[in-house]
Structure 1
Amino acid sequence: MKKLFLFLATWLLAACATFNPVSKPEVAITSINLGPSNGLQQQLLIGLQLDNPNAFDLKLGRLRYDMQIAGSKLASGRFNEAISVPANGQTVIEVPVGINLLSGLGFLKTLMTSASDELEYTLNLSADVGNFGFGDVSLVKSGVVNIGTAPAK
């Protein structure tokens, strides 16, 4: 009986060792557009590209994020809609971020007067992954993003 138990335990450990671990999704800011303003509040529309390196769809909910752009802590926010990222694919979403004009004057001045169409950014994102009870996954991404203005709606 002990040999059978030892054999089964060894086999189970070998099976677990060959199981491919799940990879974290990747994220990048694809665009920053000026949205509508309301009094002392300016809205930015941030385009996010979510890449899934796994062989199965990822079900994401509740995104929490904060970002620095051009060296300024821009904002933090939440996006509470369900997102599905296809297996070995990508999804692009747009999340609204509000900036109080009084606290964001430095960033808005940089945005309005920049001679370049590109700004450096750092994005910290936490996503609730619904697959397999993973819970929250944290991602950090730095890069360069093109800026522009959103079309009038």
Structure 2
Amino acid sequence: MPRLLATVLLILGLSACASLGPRDPLRIDLAGLEPLPGQGMEMRFAVKLRVQNPNDQAISYNGVALDLEVNGQPLASGVSDVSGEVPRYGETVISVPVTISAFSMFRQAWGMTSNTPRQSLPYELSGKLGGGLFGTVRFSDTGKLTLPPAGGAPLTRP
């Protein structure tokens, strides 16, 4: 009986290790920003992340955290306890509320007062999708946000 139990445990252990095999990294991109109601002097946005899974197994997540830098300066951060699954060879959009403090807004405005006019601002998005003990996936994305003309539409990503 002890040999049978040891054999079963060994087989289960090996099959668990096989399921942790190498997989392609998720592709996570900034899909959009939507304004949310803020409080006091803070601004809030819903950051939309497009998550693509190029693997043949669905990937479950439970929570997301992110940081957004614009023009080389920290701008916003946010967390969400959202959970779900990115289907195999599929994609999903996750919405994460982020907060921009008054200090961050001031720092960005100060940085834009330089003598060099800008049509677009570089951004860097980094964070993680929670997935349990071994399933946490870190991500980053970079690009440029195009500034709208005065009185025009919101920021866009080319």
Regarding TM over 0.5, the answer is: yes
Match of 2:51 in 1: 50
Query: Does the 8 Å CA contact 1:32/1:146 hold for their aligned counterparts?
Result: no
Match of 2:5 in 1: none
After superposition, residues 8-87 of structure 1 pair within 5 angstroms as: 21-87=22-88
Deviations along 1:42-66, whole A, 9 cap, x unmatched? 1122111111111111101121211
Q: Using the alignment, how far apart are the partners of 2:130 and 2:37 within structure 1?
A: 29
> Which is bigger in relative contact order (C-alpha 8 A, separation at least 6)?
1
The Cα shift of 1:78 comes to: 1.2
Q: Using the alignment, how far apart are the partners of 1:94 and 1:145 within structure 2?
A: 18
Amino acid at match of 1:144: K
* SS of aligned partner of 2:85: strand
The Cα shift of 1:28 comes to: 0.7
* SS of aligned partner of 1:107: helix
Richer in strand (by share): 1
Structure 1 residues 96 and 146 mapped into 2: Cα distance closer, same or farther (>3 Å)? Answer: farther
Structure 1 residues 77 and 37 mapped into 2: Cα distance closer, same or farther (>3 Å)? Answer: closer
The Cα shift of 1:33 comes to: 3.0
Gaps of 5+ in 2: 1-13, 148-152
- Identity, % of aligned pairs? 26
> Considering only aligned residues, what root-mean-square deviation do their CA atoms show, in Å?
2.8
Q: Using the alignment, how far apart are the partners of 2:145 and 2:59 within structure 1?
A: 25
Indicate whether 1:100 and 2:95 are aligned.
Answer: no
Q: How many residues align?
A: 128
* SS of aligned partner of 1:106: helix
Indicate whether 1:127 and 2:144 are aligned.
Answer: no
Gaps of 5+ in 1: 1-11
Match of 1:141 in 2: 141
Match of 2:9 in 1: none
The Cα shift of 1:84 comes to: 1.2
Amino acid at match of 1:104: M
The Cα shift of 1:86 comes to: 1.1
